[in-house]
Structure 1
Amino acid sequence: MVVAQIIDSLDTGGAEVVAVNMANALSRIEGVTSHLVVTRHTGALEARVDPAVKLFVLQKKGAFDIKALFRLRSYFIRNAVDIVHAHSTSFLYPAILEPFSSFMLVWHDHYGLPIRADGKRHYPYKIFSSLFDHVFCVSQQLVENNRKHLRVPRHKIQLLYNFSVKLDVTATEKVSKPEGRKLIVMSANLRPQKDHLNLIGAIQQLSAEIPNLLVYCIGGTNDAQYQQQLQAAIDTAGLTETVLLMGSQPNPFAFYQIADVAVLSSASEGLPLTLIEYGLAGCAVVCTDVGQASAVVNQENGWLVPSSDSTALANAIGHVLMHPEAAAVKAKRLQQFVQQFFSEESAIYAVMNTYKHILKT
């Protein structure tokens, strides 16, 4: 079986990490040849791609690049690809090629169908969905939405929880925790949906009560305006030396392992891969109760707070910092929970069963 994961870039993000992890995991299965096709450009995640994975960068220029489309077609034919597993917005080129090709097309929905300014769903998803042989969704909400809006039989739209793997931290990647500081880490690309302003508001409240706070915000961005907005909010709040925008990091586990608390302050989510990573790293976790976050974190293994409520977020973070023993107990529970229910083994087992089924039909 020849399988090609396809993703738009290798910048650090949830869909991108899943695509890389899936390609890596499949490369270790006997009888499977695993490819990873990147339509636009590589990024920090290229360092995580296993040598056994065949990496191809299409270098697409613009929304529609006819030469890139034919390069992709040639690549699929040359490598006799059986399954194309398209993540997020990368489905378009495979969908165009699918009627003239022998591969089966799987779409992996990480974020849901985009909604236009007029409130309607973007039509390309609905039109091209008739060419999808199967759809994976990272949350039950996305399953239900896609069953309403896509031209795909209901039984072919399946829940598949995200999974991650714990990365070893090498000597060169190791990060030292500044002495005497209480370290808060948030790993999320700089996008309005992640609501870093909520975290900034919480830290502004906390800094009056708990001295020596330090916040590392890990994540890249393609939105320079939003980054400037965040930096302005940090400076205005007098937190320039407290809240640091660290940019994209090749191995965030280097930061997780020294954190006193790991936070996700999002206004909206699917099933956040970041929470799974926090759990694997053994972090005490505070997150907003949005999307499928509660499928990972609950009040028994972490702290869930309402979204867009900086006071509630501040109170939860403060509780973790003031009660490290209780936080360690919950962190251990979360680690065990994630290892049991969000493992690579269970996800790849489900994916391989689906691949085999659609190749038989």
Structure 2
Amino acid sequence: MKPVPLPESSPSSASNSSHPDNVASNSAEIGVPRPLGPRPLRVTHAVLSLDAGGLERMVLDLIDQARVQGHRADALCLERPGLLADQARKRGARVISLDKRLGVRPWMIRQARRALKDLKPDLVHTHQIGVLAYVGPAAWSLGIPVLHTEHGKHYHRRGTRWLGRVAARFAGIFCAVSQDIAEAAVAHRVVPARNVQVVPNGIPRQVYETVDPGEVATLRRDLDLPPEARIVGTVGRLDPVKRQDRLILGFERLLDRVPSARLVIVGEGPSRPDLEHLIAARGLGSLVHLAGYQNHPERWYNLFDVFVLTSASEGHPLSVLEAWASGKAVVASRVGGLPELIEEGRTGLLYDADDLDGLARCLAELLDDPETADALGAAGRARVAREFDAAGMFTRYIRLYQKLISHLVCP
């Protein structure tokens, strides 16, 4: 079986029909469908790794939802298994790592092909364009359809744009987690607008809705937080794009207005040494806590009075949804898909990414006015329940899976 080729899918054909306003919101035009009755599906999620991050946790949620709804999902890791691989296995997934080294390795396509022959999926779901470049051709050679999800904007460099245009040819449906990301892919002629779907992330919200006062008290005690401390917190990979350095500098300015404030940063990553040096250099060692990677981040959201995200680029971050599901007000930089996600003054506050005074002002406003913070958090929680539940996300994907499989024709 071979996928039906996409009509006019070459990058050159995207110039007229690929305006961002034309990005599809319901279905991709991939030919004339053939009826397909509901049946259990076997899906392989292809990722760089299952390291701790929003993309990877979203894949775990998809694996979990597949199990709950009677399907099967496995994981193919291009570079390494990652910290979350064991959690994927506990959810019933097989995890195969190709152990690709850095650099261009064309022969990895053959290894991906062998892995897919072993996993025998009905469909491959790739995440990030670099993964699609290797796993897409492997799947195509076996007649396995590919659905791709893009989680960020990576096309500012010519080489990445070229890679995206070539790799996208192997995706029957090209998804993005936010309108902002979809429009970027279309604007850079990576994919025609008619083939792009926007499928927002979802989370298992019930996990975040339960508050255990005993756990919160334990965390405060473990961090040696004084009773009067007001907690600003964030959860995410310690990475330059997350700009936790600017968070620390903005927090320093916040102390002039809210001396009782404390900052808790949950996560691990390559920026940790630089952040530790910055904290020490600014004399903030007793006020800023690097909590490291946590298996159960939901426990930490309940510790926070306000959640903050200071990224230089974001799509549709899980951490904002998790903070909302925990009933927390959100302060975030006005970048990427965040203005699309956050209704300013209703579900959170936004500030210009380079405005440290603006960051401090937003944080102080909510710490000084708990009633407003609670109202923003409650509105965010209601929105997650309406729009961003993990089961709803999986339902949207399963419909696209079935749509894509129904467009296969037998030789």
Mapped to 1, the partners of 2:235 and 2:110 lie a distance apart of 37
Compared with structure 1, are the counterparts of its residues 150 and 131 closer, same or farther at alpha carbon in structure 2 (3 Å cutoff)?
farther
Partner Cα distance (2:106, 2:168) in 1: 21
Q: Which residue pairs with 2:249 in the alignment?
A: 201
Determine the structure 2 residue equivalent to 1:128. 167
1:249 counterpart residue number: 294
Q: Distance in 1 between matches of 2:180 and 2:247?
A: 26
Aligned: 1:231 with 2:276: yes
- After TM superposition, the structure 1 = structure 2 runs for residues 87-236 of structure 1, keeping only pairs within 5 Å, are 87-88=127-128, 89-116=130-157, 121-150=160-189, 152-166=191-205, 167=207, 175-177=218-220, 178-180=225-227, 181-221=229-269, 223=270, 226-236=271-281
Distance in 2 between residues matched to 1:47 and 1:259, nearest whole Å:
28
SS at match of 1:53: coil
For 1:24-39, what aligned pairs fall within 5 Å after superposition?
Answer: 24-30=64-70, 32-39=71-78
SS at match of 2:361: helix
- Give the CA deviation at 1:269: 1.2
Say whether the 8 Å CA contact 2:178–2:337 is kept in structure 1. yes
**In structure 2, do the counterparts of structure 1 residues 122 and 227 end up closer, same or farther at CA, with 3 Å as the change threshold?**
farther
User: How far is the alpha carbon of 1:202 from its aligned partner?
Assistant: 1.6
CA distance in 2, matches of 1:14, 1:83: 22
Which of these residues, 31, 36, 46, is aligned with residue 6 of structure 1? 46
**How many Å separate the matches in 2 of 1:318 and 1:152?**
43
Q: Which residue of 2 aligns with 1:331?
A: 377
1:352 aligns with 2:391: no
Aligned length: 355
Q: Distance in 1 between matches of 2:107 and 2:166?
A: 23
Which sits farther off after the overlay, 62-71 or 326-335? 62-71
Matches within 5 A, 1:256-267: 256-267=301-312
Letter in 2 for 1:43: G
- Indicate the SS of the match to 1:9: coil
Mark the runs of 5 or more structure 2 residues left unpaired by the alignment.
1-40
Rate the CA distance shift 1:333–1:47 in 2: closer, same or farther, 3 A: farther
SS of 2:79's partner is strand
Aligned: 1:311 with 2:311 = no
Taking every aligned residue pair, what percent have the same amino acid on both sides? 21
C-alpha distance in 1, partners of 2:190/2:300?
43
- 1:292, 1:236 → 2: CA distance? 33
Letter of the aligned partner of 1:228 in structure 2?
P
Q: Secondary structure at the match of 1:44?
A: coil
C-alpha distance in structure 2 between counterparts of 1:60 and 1:271, whole Å = 28
Q: Secondary structure at the match of 1:230?
A: helix
Cα deviation digits, residues 189-222 of structure 1 (max 9, x gap): 122222222211221112233223221112221x
Distance 2:76 2:406 in 1: 24
Compared CA separation, residues 278 and 322, structure 1 to 2 (3 A): same
- 8 Å CA contact 2:211–2:302 kept in 1: the answer is no
Relative contact order (C-alpha < 8 Å, sep 6+): which is higher? 2
Q: What is the Cα deviation at residue 152 of structure 1?
A: 3.9
SS of 1:131's partner is: coil
Cα distance change on mapping 1:209 and 1:113 into 2, 3 Å: closer
Q: Which amino acid aligns with 1:135?
A: F
- Structure 1 residues 47 and 339: CA distance shift in structure 2, 3 A: farther
Aligned residue number for residue 53 of structure 1: 92
Per the alignment, residue 296 of structure 1 pairs with 341
1:62 CA displacement: 0.8
Separation in 1 of the partners of 2:95 and 2:390? 23
Q: Secondary structure at the match of 1:176?
A: helix
Cα distance in 2 for partners of 1:39, 1:315 equals 43
Secondary structure of 1:85 counterpart: strand
Task: Please tell me whether the aligned partners of residues 112 and 142 of structure 1 are also in contact (alpha carbons under 8 angstroms).
Answer: yes
Q: Say which SS state the counterpart of residue 135 (structure 1) adopts.
A: strand
Which of 1 and 2 has greater Rg?
A: 2
Corresponding residue SS for 1:233: helix
State the TM-score, normalized to the length of structure 2. 0.79
Task: Give the residue type in structure 2 aligned to 1:22.
Answer: L
Relative to structure 1, the CA distance from residue 124 to residue 287 in structure 2 (aligned partners, 3 Å threshold; closer, same or farther) is same
Q: For 1:127 and 1:107, locate their aligned partners in 2 and report how far apart those are by CA, in whole Å.
A: 13
Give the distance between the partners of 1:70 and 1:36, measured in 2 at CA.
Answer: 17
